[in-house]
Each structure stands twice: as C-alpha cells, then as structure tokens.
Amino acid sequence: MPVVDFAKLPEIAMRKGITGQWIAGREQGTTGISVLSNTVAAGVVVPRHLHDHEEVVLVEQGSMWVEVDGQRVTAEPGRAVIVPANAVHAWGTETGVKILFIWPVLEPFAAGKSTYVDGEPPKVA
C-alpha cells in the first residue's frame, strides 16, 4: 500500500506562476488515476484546452474561476468543478489558489490525451 508524503514530493515549475506536485500517478503506484496539486500565483490564467477524459477540480485554499464551454463559475473551498471529457475549458485566479486536480487516467497530459486550443501545454516533469 503506497503512502505518499506530500512534503517529500518534488515541485515542478509547470508554467510561470504555477508549481505542481504529483500526489498520485504511475510513480506513486496508481494504475488508473492521477492527482496533481497546484499552487498558483495571483493573476495566472491557463489557456483554453480539452482532455479526452473527465477532470475534477477541487480548491483547497483561495478562489479561482473555471470556464467550461463558455460558462464561467467560481470555485472555492467546499466546491468541486467537474469538467466533462472533451469540453473546452480554461481557468485562472485573481488572488492565488491551491488546487487538486483529479483525472481517471494515468498521464493526463500525454500525447493525444490533452489538446491546447490556445497556448502551450504545461511542463509535467
């Protein structure tokens, strides 16, 4: 049974203003789920993109907006945003935010699993 110590996980500079830690994935021993923790600075916007799988967005601290197929909602602690597979979405924060992303696949950013409509994909390792 793998136990993941968050304090020992490497931090990845995924984009300007975004650091990430893979909490669950192939390296942590999962076979069909990925969980990513992001710490995001104020003013960051992630461009429109889509995945061939669902995505669950959980805010741990702060607040953010998530726009799915043109509909924008606010996400904050105590709320989950569920992004359907193949839905074009973007997100950002005006104040800074700590987020957990959950995907029902390993390597959610692998070739063919995510497509960026605008901008470039993040660094994931």
Q: What is the secondary structure of 23-67 as a DSSP string?
A: EESGGGT-SS-EEEEEEE-TT-EEEEEEESS-EEEEEEEE-EEEE
Q: What is the CATH number of domain 12-109?
A: 2.60.120.10
pLDDT band for 51, please (50, 70, 90 cuts): very high
Task: Identify the pLDDT of residue 119.
Answer: 86
d(C-alpha 108, C-alpha 78), whole Å: 24
Tell me the mean pLDDT in the region 76-87.
96
pTM for this model (two decimals): 0.92
pLDDT, the chain, mean: 94
Buried b (16+ CB within 10 A) or exposed e, 81-99: bebeeeeebbbbbeebbbb
pLDDT at residue 17 greater than cutoff 90: yes
Tell me the mean pLDDT in the region 31-59.
97
pLDDT at residue 20 greater than cutoff 90: yes
d(C-alpha 84, C-alpha 104), whole Å: 12
